[in-house]
Structure 1
Amino acid sequence: MAKVAVVFHSGYGHTQRLAQSVADGANAELIAIDADGNVPEGAWDTLAAADAIIFGSPTYMGTVSWQFKKFADASSKPWYTQAWKDKIFGGFTNSANINGDKHSTLHYFMTLAMQHGGLWAGTGISYNNTKASQRSDVNYLASSAGPMAQVAGDAGAAEMNPGDLETGRLFGARIQEVASKFRG
């Protein structure tokens, strides 16, 4: 089994809940970026030892939170030594709006992964785009790049859509599968 780490920032608990679903699917270790943009003791060692790294952040104003950006800027140390080269990468996000410019956040993650010499893995999950589709279906928001979740601005993390959470879990399982193939 590959070692997978999910490094994420959550402002109001929604991204944390999605991160847990992704981690459950990937059998991954969670690394929470705190409100000051810092990671806990040992996080950089966990990321160095990981076969795959999954990024997570809410989409704020069309991109990652400033806390995630602080983490990304701090990753210039492993970048300098190419410590994350050839690792598998993926990412996920959520916002209050159906679109919410979430693709900008996923593209930010992709760029960061490419700067580190990583290999990006998308969802690998088909869309539910028929008249019979329901909002609670898996990958209803139709992202190939990484899971997107949507939660109304006045809804708590406990009210997250089960289809979005299942999309996260399936994505985590895909990252584990891909990373295990590359690890072998």
Structure 2
Amino acid sequence: MTKTVVLYFSGYGHTKRVAEEVAAGASAELIAIDAEGNLPEGAWETLAAADAIIFGAPTYMGNAPWQFKKFADASSKVWGTRGWQDKVFGGFSNSASLNGDKAGTLIFLQTLASQHGGIWVSLGMLPSNTLAATRNDVNNLGGSVGLLTQSPSDQGADQIPSGDLETARLYGARVASVAARLAQH
């Protein structure tokens, strides 16, 4: 059986809500980066034992917040030993705007995974981009590199569109499935 971990930072609870849905889809363990950019006790060991790691971060000013970047910089110790070589990776970002420059954050997450020698999993689903499409449809934001979600800045995490949350569950399942298939070979 493969082990998947969702590692995320959430500033206001919205990204945490998305992380929970990704984890539900992947049957994954959640690890939260705290407000000071630190990991909880034992997190590095949990990440080392994982077959798949899914990164999650909100997009602030066109990229991941400093708390996530602190983790990324600290991961250079693992990078130096190739400790995450050939692990499966995925990633997601949430912002208040429909676009919100989330692509910058996803490329940052994908680059981090690639620097570690990881295997990146795309979203793998067509966008919901017809005239009849609504925010409650799966992949309404049209992601490809990874999962994109949106949450209104003046509302809590309970107002994230159901289509984004369903896309999160499906993406978590996809990453876990790819990790399981690779583990069989």
TM-score bin (small chain): over 0.9
CA deviation profile, 1:75-112 (whole Å, cap 9, x unmatched): 01110100000000000011011110000000000100
In structure 2, what is the Cα distance between the partners aligned to 1:130 and 1:158?
26
Deviates more, 1:145-154 or 1:36-45: 145-154
Name the TM-score, length of structure 2 as normaliser.
Answer: 0.98
Q: Kindly tell me the number of residue pairs found equivalent between the two proteins.
A: 184
In structure 2, what is the Cα distance between the partners aligned to 1:43 and 1:81?
17
Which aligned segments of 4 or more residues in structure 1 are displaced greater than 4 angstroms? Answer: none
Aligned to 1:172: 172
Could you say what secondary structure the match of 2:94 adopts? strand
Q: Give % identity.
A: 60
In structure 1, what is the Cα distance between the partners aligned to 2:133 and 2:96?
21
> Following superposition of structure 1 onto structure 2, how do residues 32-47 of structure 1 map, counting pairs within 5 Å?
32-47=32-47
Could you say what secondary structure the match of 1:125 adopts? coil
Gaps of 5+ in 1: none
Gaps of 5+ in 2: none
In structure 2, what is the Cα distance between the partners aligned to 1:115 and 1:73?
12
1:45 maps to a residue whose letter is E
Aligned to 2:146: 146
In structure 2, what is the Cα distance between the partners aligned to 1:14 and 1:136?
17
CA deviation profile, 1:103-148 (whole Å, cap 9, x unmatched): 0000000100010000100111111111111111000000011111
Could you say what secondary structure the match of 1:5 adopts? strand
In structure 2, what is the Cα distance between the partners aligned to 1:147 and 1:138?
11
2:36 maps to a residue whose letter is D
